Amino acid sequence: MSLPRIAIDAMGGDEGVRVMVDGAAEARRHHDRFKFLLVGDEARIKAALETHPNMRGASEILHCEDVVGGDEKPTQALRRAKTTSMGLAVNAVKKGDAGAAVSGGNTGALMAMSKLALRTMPGIDRPALAALLPTLGDNDVIMLDLGANTDCDARNLVQFAIMGAAYSRIVTGREAPRVRLLNIGTEDIKGTDQLQEAAAQLKAATGLAMQFDGFVEADKINRGDVDVVVSDGFSGNIALKAIEGAARFVTDLLKDAFRSSFRSKVGFLISRPATELLKHHLDPNNHNGAVFLGLNGVVVKSHGSATAGGVANAVKVAARLLEEDLTQRIASDMAALHARGIERTGAGE
Amino acid sequence: MSLPRIAIDAMGGDEGVRVMVDGAAEARRHHDRFKFLLVGDEARIKAALETHPNMRGASEILHCEDVVGGDEKPTQALRRAKTTSMGLAVNAVKKGDAGAAVSGGNTGALMAMSKLALRTMPGIDRPALAALLPTLGDNDVIMLDLGANTDCDARNLVQFAIMGAAYSRIVTGREAPRVRLLNIGTEDIKGTDQLQEAAAQLKAATGLAMQFDGFVEADKINRGDVDVVVSDGFSGNIALKAIEGAARFVTDLLKDAFRSSFRSKVGFLISRPATELLKHHLDPNNHNGAVFLGLNGVVVKSHGSATAGGVANAVKVAARLLEEDLTQRIASDMAALHARGIERTGAGE
């Protein structure tokens, strides 16, 4: 099966053109069927391509010079959707020139442009940003929303659960991924009205391709006993960043501790394979590639400071979602839900 | 100066009477001026006291048999405020029989009972739960609210900032602790209306005993460059638990990594002083003792699964807040705020 090509916003991200092109080339070394539309300054892209003979014949350049700034407001960026590398990469998906887009640029602008160009899928009110996080179990856990929607109602949360479960079926291979809503306790009475209502709707639903297990607290996200953690974008962003920060905090403390005495330094050198394993497991580049779920097309957000290896992972995420046709999976799950009419319940019972 | 005695809810917590009495005794070994009112089953308390000669003459027993259940709803627990060990410990503070209360029981019930018995301080609409977290810097960071209030408006957040700063002055010795609001970005436009309004009010305020530095993201809580992190109780609880969970996740991974080969095991044994240092730094018992700020009296929540050492730390927190007269500090800061009339601004500008 030939894979639709992937549009790369070569100008987004903190590191510029080279890291994006290096990342695409690295992904292609593992999967030689990948093809690319590289969007950005032609001269710089050509220069970056020189070191990658494996990209010859597999990539086309779409020249543009304009770039969305990291601090730019989404509304401002939207006005330059037709001239910026980000806007043109997303637009290539809309026009069918590419199957998916990958960008390391401004998340808010990417969200706004993707929503405007690709529109939300039938039955989905709002797209959500989803990412994979490592766990103690065999599979990564999917968290969503991570910041696309500050406020969410029960209906949004139910839709996020369905989209997350569809993504998790691809990642875990489970037919009924274990889904939970992020809350500050697991008892029914805990949390906001929206959470309680969403839980009631998901509990009442039958035949959904998920196992809904109620609430989960933020200290249980990485234990490996939940596949999808659903939240509003504010709480999800807080939880994601708190986890990232705490992981860095502990590894920083560990470094300090290992430096605290000669004996510790020797122990560190001997146990280096162990600490390297830890470092590998926690490196965000190995989990790079957040996805906007719920759009008519695949858009993947690469971390602004990702390495070439990180960009390669984001590209692989995009390719996998194309191959497994995530958009179609969500559409059919949503259709099944509509058939049972659960969606029509409002905010109250 | 003689310290008012501390009421101990000897029945609360997962571990029962012994750990609470052992903890009080341990605290007293370091500070022999501490005196206690031990509230709970007299026979069991007496049995636990037998191994602690240093508690003789320093503790009185207030007998009761009723105990608040860990899963009990606060409204239900409130009806037994006059008969349970938790209710009687809090009531002792109200009556002036004790200067502070320490409980390891049900957080929601403790909050409800404390609020009803002690009432909020003049100018404070709602109390908040505050805890100390470790940082890479010299001082702990104070986070509040950690779950007492699911929804908060700008006015609540401003009050939490003032209460947290008063607490931080005691902990850090700084005259103007660095205060930030927890948000999903640091730009002015990020987050909810409540956060933006609270930030505007704190920025406009002059002469407050704090340095307000705007927003902080959840990955920067433990870096040591902020002294007080203010949030609504939902986000704060999510952030706190995400940090706890991630720290445990990383140390679990590290354990697995050290077990992965003979070489790693040897390295682990040699570097044990380093890993012990890390363990000590991350042990929640060393940061035990969350405080309900904003009440007419000091109430400290000890973790339900705290060790005797953890309970001793919670007792020391209570003693320190009594010695430094936190309640009076908050009252005078609130009075200063009212004098400038900042408080009177509503939700909109």
pLDDT digits (tens, 9 = 90+) for A256-307: 877 777 777 777 777 777 777 777 777 888 889 999 999 999 999 999 999 9
Taking an 8 Å cut-off on Cβ atoms, the answer to whether A136 and B263 are in contact is no
**Of B219, B242, B277, which has the smallest distance from its Cβ to A219's Cβ?**
B242
Taking an 8 Å cut-off on Cβ atoms, the answer to whether A274 and B251 are in contact is no
Between A13-17, A237-241, B9-13, B169-173, the lowest mean confidence (pLDDT) is in A13-17
**Of B135, B245, B266, which has the smallest distance from its Cβ to A270's Cβ?**
B266
Taking an 8 Å cut-off on Cβ atoms, the answer to whether A261 and B246 are in contact is no
What's the mean pLDDT when you consider all of chain A? 90
The two tokens of residue B86 are 């938790």
pLDDT the model gives residue B100: 96
Chain B residues near residue A278 by CB distance under 8 angstroms: 250, 253-254, 257
What amino acid occupies position B255?
K
pLDDT the model gives residue A12: 83
DSSP E strands: which ranges in chain B?
6-9, 36-40, 59-63, 100-103, 128-133, 141-144, 178-182, 211-216, 228-230, 290-293, 298-301
Taking an 8 Å cut-off on Cβ atoms, the answer to whether B235 and A234 are in contact is yes
Q: Does position A347 have pLDDT exceeding 70, yes or no?
A: no
Taking an 8 Å cut-off on Cβ atoms, the answer to whether A274 and B282 are in contact is no
Segment A210-240, tens digit of pLDDT: 999 999 999 999 999 999 999 999 999 999 9
What band does A345 get if pLDDT is binned at 50, 70 and 90? very low
Please give the full DSSP string across A48-103, using - where no structure is assigned: HHTT-GGGTTTEEEEE--B---TT--HHHHHTTTTTBHHHHHHHHHHHTS-SEEEE
Asked if A285 and A306 touch (Cβ cutoff 8 Å), the reply is yes
Taking an 8 Å cut-off on Cβ atoms, the answer to whether A250 and B282 are in contact is yes
Asked if A298 and A103 touch (Cβ cutoff 8 Å), the reply is no
Segment B170-226, tens digit of pLDDT: 989 999 999 999 999 888 878 899 999 999 999 998 778 899 999 999 999 999 999
Chain A residues near residue B246 by CB distance under 8 angstroms: 222, 242-247, 250
pLDDT the model gives residue B207: 75
Q: Does position A348 have pLDDT exceeding 70, yes or no?
A: no
Which H/E stretch holds residue A293?
strand A290-293
In this structure, the number of other CB atoms found within 10 A of the CB of residue B153 comes to 18
Chain B residues near residue A254 by CB distance under 8 angstroms: 254, 274-275, 278
Between A190-194, B12-16, B56-60, B316-320, the lowest mean confidence (pLDDT) is in B12-16
pLDDT the model gives residue B338: 63
Taking an 8 Å cut-off on Cβ atoms, the answer to whether B219 and A244 are in contact is yes
What is the C-alpha to C-alpha distance for residues A191 and B124, in angstroms, rounded to an integer? 23
Straight-line distance from the first to the last Cα atom of chain B, in angstroms, rounded to the nearest whole number: 47
Q: Which of B229, B231, B234 would you mutate first to test chain A, the one with the most A CBs within 10 A?
A: B234
Q: Does position B346 have pLDDT exceeding 50, yes or no?
A: no
What is the C-alpha to C-alpha distance for residues A64 and A91, in angstroms, rounded to an integer? 13
pLDDT the model gives residue A15: 79
Q: Compute the Cα dihedral for A259, A261, A266, A267 and give only its sign.
A: negative
Q: Which CATH number does the domain B1-120+294-324 belong to among 3.40.50.12370, 3.40.718.10, 3.40.1010.20, 3.90.660.20?
A: 3.40.718.10
pLDDT the model gives residue A261: 78
The residue of chain A with its CA nearest to that of B245 is A219
Q: Does position A84 have pLDDT exceeding 90, yes or no?
A: yes
CATH 3.40.718.10 correct for A1-124+294-324: yes
What amino acid occupies position A242?
A
CA angle (B78 as vertex; B76, B82 as ends), nearest 5: 125
**Of A150, A221, A241, which has the smallest distance from its Cβ to B218's Cβ?**
A241
Segment B222-272, tens digit of pLDDT: 999 999 999 999 999 999 999 999 998 988 888 887 777 777 777 777 777
Q: Which of B223, B253, B266 would you mutate first to test chain A, the one with the most A CBs within 10 A?
A: B253
Which H/E stretch holds residue A298?
strand A298-301
Q: Does position B343 have pLDDT exceeding 70, yes or no?
A: no
pLDDT the model gives residue A346: 42
Q: How far is A86 from chain B (nearest CA, A)?
A: 21
Asked if B47 and B84 touch (Cβ cutoff 8 Å), the reply is no
C-alpha dist (Å) from residue A162 to A140, A261, B339: 17, 52, 52
Q: How far is B285 from chain A (nearest CA, A)?
A: 17
What is the C-alpha to C-alpha distance for residues A82 and A88, in angstroms, rounded to an integer? 6
Taking an 8 Å cut-off on Cβ atoms, the answer to whether B273 and A254 are in contact is no
More confident residue, A15 or B204: B204
Query: What HEC string does A116-146 produce?
Result: HHHCECCCCCCCEEEEEECCCCCCCEEEECC
Q: Which of A111, A189, A219 would you mutate first to test chain B, the one with the most B CBs within 10 A?
A: A219
Taking an 8 Å cut-off on Cβ atoms, the answer to whether A249 and B192 are in contact is no
Asked if A315 and A6 touch (Cβ cutoff 8 Å), the reply is yes
Q: Does position B342 have pLDDT exceeding 60, yes or no?
A: no
ipTM of the complex: 0.89
More confident residue, B64 or A344: B64
What is the C-alpha to C-alpha distance for residues B13 and B9, in angstroms, rounded to an integer? 9
User: Bridge-partner residues for A143, per DSSP?
Assistant: A131, A229
Taking an 8 Å cut-off on Cβ atoms, the answer to whether B249 and A247 are in contact is yes
Segment B114-167, tens digit of pLDDT: 999 999 998 899 999 999 999 988 899 999 999 888 889 999 999 999 999 999
pLDDT the model gives residue B20: 96
Q: Does position B345 have pLDDT exceeding 50, yes or no?
A: no
**Of B136, B218, B252, which has the smallest distance from its Cβ to A242's Cβ?**
B218
Q: What is the dihedral of CA A124, A126, A129, A135, to 10 degrees?
A: -60
What band does A349 get if pLDDT is binned at 50, 70 and 90? very low
User: Bridge-partner residues for A142, per DSSP?
Assistant: A132, A228
Phi, psi angle pair for B132, to nearest 5° = -100, 135
pLDDT the model gives residue A266: 78
**Do B125-292 and B1-120+294-324 have the same topology in CATH?**
yes
Taking an 8 Å cut-off on Cβ atoms, the answer to whether B241 and A222 are in contact is no
How is domain B125-292 classified at the CATH fold level? Isopropylmalate Dehydrogenase (3.40.718)
Domain A125-287, second-level architecture: 3-Layer(aba) Sandwich (3.40)
pLDDT the model gives residue B348: 37
Q: How far is B326 from chain A (nearest CA, A)?
A: 28
Where exactly are the structural domains of chain B?
1-120+294-324, 125-292
C-alpha dist (Å) from residue A310 to A13, A19, A59, B181, B216: 12, 9, 20, 31, 26
pLDDT the model gives residue B298: 95
Q: Does position B70 have pLDDT exceeding 80, yes or no?
A: yes
Q: Does position B36 have pLDDT exceeding 80, yes or no?
A: yes
What band does A338 get if pLDDT is binned at 50, 70 and 90? low
User: Bridge-partner residues for A133, per DSSP?
Assistant: A141
Which H/E stretch holds residue A244?
helix A233-258
In this structure, the number of other CB atoms found within 10 A of the CB of residue B234 comes to 26
More confident residue, A108 or B3: A108
* Cis, peptide link before residue B14, omega less than 30° from 0: no
More confident residue, B344 or A269: A269
Q: Compute the Cα dihedral for B130, B104, B253, A135 and give only its sign.
A: negative
Q: Which of B138, B271, B277, B283 would you mutate first to test chain A, the one with the most A CBs within 10 A?
A: B271
Query: What HEC string does B198-228 produce?
Result: HHHHHHHCCCCCCEEEEEECHHHCCCCCCCE
Chain B residues near residue A151 by CB distance under 8 angstroms: 192
Chain A residues near residue B268 by CB distance under 8 angstroms: 267, 271, 274
**Could you tell me which of A162, A238, A228, A152 has the C-alpha nearest to residue A193?**
A152
The DSSP secondary-structure symbol of A343 reads G
Chain B residues near residue A138 by CB distance under 8 angstroms: none
Q: How far is A32 from chain B (nearest CA, A)?
A: 34
What is the C-alpha to C-alpha distance for residues A37 and A17, in angstroms, rounded to an integer? 13
